[in-house]
C-alpha cells in the first residue's frame, strides 16, 4: 500500500499552484519544433492504438465518481487518490485557473464522503485527513471566489454550467452543517456561501434543470456534461448510452447511474465504468477513447478537454 500511496502523491505537479505568486515555479513550455510534433504524433498514435487511450488521470472525473457511484469497484482507491493528490497549498489540479474545476469537484466529493457512513474509514484514509482536505479546499475556494478580484475560468468543456452546479452543491453541504454539524468543520456551518463568479450566468443551469424536471429532452450536445444536472440525471429516460458510455464521459455516465444500485438496463454502463476505472486501479482519466458512435459535441467553441 505504501508504494501505491507514493505513486498517488506524485500525480499532481506539486510546484505549480493556483495562487498568483511570483514565487511559484511554472512549467516550461517547449518551443514549436519538429521534435515536438513528433512527440505529439507519437502520443496521439498511442491513444488511437489503445482501447481506452493512454490519457492521464483526471481529478475532476475521479471526484464525480466518488460522489455519484460510491458502490462502483475502486471507490476506496478514488478517495485515497483525491486526498493524496491535494497540493500543499490546498488546490487540486493544474496551473493558473485550471485548478478551479478540479478543486470544486474534489472538495464537493470529499464533503459528500464525510457525510456518508464511516466517514471514509473504508478507504484507509483517517477521518481527520478527510476533514483537513475539505477544510483546505474550502479555504482556497472562498479566498478566490469570494474575493473582490475577477475570477477567470478555464477554457474547458461546459464550464459555464459545471461551475455553478458544483458551487450550488457545496453550498448545500454548508447549509446542512447548520442542523447536522461535523467535527472540524464548525467554522463552515452555513455562515457564508461560496459565490458564483459575476460573469457566469447561473440562469443557464437553472433553465436546463427546470427543462429536465418538466420532462423535456435535454439537448444531445449536453450529454457529455450530464453531471451538471445533479440528481436529475439519474436514469434520465432521454439519455441513450453508446456501448454503455454517456457522452463519452465517465462523469456523465456516473451521474446517469446515480448512487443507488443500477437497474438491469444500466448494466452495460456499469461495465463501461468498471473497465475505465480498472485501468488505474480506481481513478479515471478525463476522456477515455470515445467508443464507436459516441461523439462529444461542445456547447460553445473552442473547447479544451482538460478538466
Residue 142's CATH number: 1.50.10.160
pLDDT for 264-305, tens place per residue? 889 999 999 999 999 999 999 976 544 444 544 433 322 233
Q: Is residue 15 part of a domain?
A: no
pLDDT given for residue 123 in this prediction: 63
Confidence of residue 81 (pLDDT cuts 50, 70, 90): very high
Highest mean pLDDT among 53-62, 115-124, 203-212: 203-212
Confidence of residue 198 (pLDDT cuts 50, 70, 90): confident
pLDDT given for residue 35 in this prediction: 74
Q: Is residue 191 part of a domain?
A: yes
Q: What is the mean pLDDT of the chain?
A: 80
Q: Is residue 218 part of a domain?
A: yes
Structural domain of 220 = 54-278
Q: Is residue 135 part of a domain?
A: yes
pLDDT for 124-138, tens place per residue? 677 889 999 999 999
pLDDT given for residue 22 in this prediction: 28
CA–CA separation, 38 and 111 (whole Å): 43
pLDDT given for residue 46 in this prediction: 60
Whether the pLDDT of residue 93 is over 80: the answer is yes
pLDDT given for residue 8 in this prediction: 39
Confidence of residue 50 (pLDDT cuts 50, 70, 90): low
Q: Is residue 269 part of a domain?
A: yes
Whether the pLDDT of residue 66 is over 60: the answer is yes
Q: Is residue 71 part of a domain?
A: yes
Taking only Cα atoms into account, the Rg of the chain, rounded to an integer number of angstroms, comes to 19
pLDDT given for residue 45 in this prediction: 65
Q: Is residue 184 part of a domain?
A: yes
Confidence of residue 3 (pLDDT cuts 50, 70, 90): very low
pLDDT for 137-167, tens place per residue? 999 999 999 987 788 888 888 899 999 999 9
Q: Is residue 183 part of a domain?
A: yes
pTM above 0.75, yes or no: yes
Q: How many domains does the chain have?
A: 1
DSSP assignment of the chain: -HHHHHHHHTSS-TT--SS--TTSPPPPPPPP-HHHHHHHHHHHHHHHHSSS--PPB-HHHHHHHHHH-TTSTTHHHHHHHHHHT--TTS--SSSGGGGHHHHHHHHHHHHHHHHSTTTTGGGT--HHHHHHHHHHHHHHHHHHHTSSS--PPPSBTTHHHHHHHHHHHHHHHHHHHHHS--TT-GGGSSSS-PPPPTTS-THHHHHHHHHHHTTPPPPGGGGGGGGGGGGGGTT-TT---BTTBBTTBHHHHHHHH-SSPPPGGGHHHHHHHHHHHHTTTS--BS-PPPPTT-----SSS--B---
Amino acid at each position: 500500500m505504501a508504494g501505491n500511496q507514493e505513486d498517488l502523491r506524485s500525480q499532481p505537479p506539486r510546484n505549480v499552484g493556483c495562487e498568483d505568486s511570483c514565487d511559484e515555479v511554472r512549467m516550461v513550455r517547449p518551443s514549436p519544433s519538429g521534435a515536438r510534433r513528433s512527440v505529439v504524433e507519437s502520443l496521439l498514435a498511442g491513444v488511437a492504438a489503445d482501447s481506452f487511450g493512454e490519457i492521464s488521470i483526471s481529478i475532476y472525473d475521479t471526484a464525480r465518481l466518488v460522489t455519484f457511484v460510491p458502490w462502483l469497484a475502486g471507490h476506496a482507491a478514488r478517495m485515497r487518490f483525491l486526498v493524496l493528490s491535494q497540493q500543499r497549498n490546498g488546490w487540486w489540479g493544474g496551473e493558473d485557473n485550471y485548478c478551479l474545476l478540479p478543486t470544486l469537484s474534489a472538495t464537493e466529493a470529499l464533503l459528500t464522503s464525510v457525510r456518508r457512513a464511516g466517514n471514509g474509514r473504508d478507504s484507509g484514509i483517517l477521518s481527520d485527513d478527510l476533514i483537513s482536505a475539505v477544510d483546505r479546499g474550502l479555504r482556497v475556494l472562498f479566498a478566490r471566489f469570494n474575493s473582490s478580484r475577477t475570477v477567470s475560468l478555464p477554457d474547458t468543456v461546459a464550464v459555464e454550467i459545471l461551475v455553478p452546479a458544483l458551487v450550488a452543491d457545496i453550498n448545500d453541504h454548508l447549509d446542512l452543517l447548520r442542523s447536522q454539524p461535523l467535527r472540524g468543520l464548525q467554522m463552515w456551518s452555513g455562515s457564508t456561501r461560496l459565490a458564483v463568479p459575476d460573469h457566469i450566468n447561473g440562469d443557464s443551469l437553472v433553465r436546463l434543470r427546470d427543462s429536465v424536471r418538466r420532462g423535456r429532452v435535454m439537448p444531445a450536445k449536453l450529454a457529455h456534461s450530464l453531471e451538471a444536472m445533479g440528481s436529475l440525471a439519474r436514469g434520465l429516460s432521454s439519455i441513450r448510452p453508446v456501448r454503455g458510455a454517456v457522452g463519452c464521459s465517465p462523469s456523465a455516465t456516473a451521474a446517469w447511474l446515480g448512487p443507488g444500485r443500477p437497474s438491469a438496463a444500466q448494466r452495460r454502463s456499469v461495465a463501461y465504468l468498471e473497465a475505465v476505472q480498472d485501468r488505474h486501479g480506481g481513478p479515471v482519466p478525463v476522456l477515455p477513447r470515445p467508443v464507436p458512435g459516441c461523439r462529444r459535441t461542445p456547447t460553445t467553441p473552442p473547447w479544451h478537454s482538460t478538466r
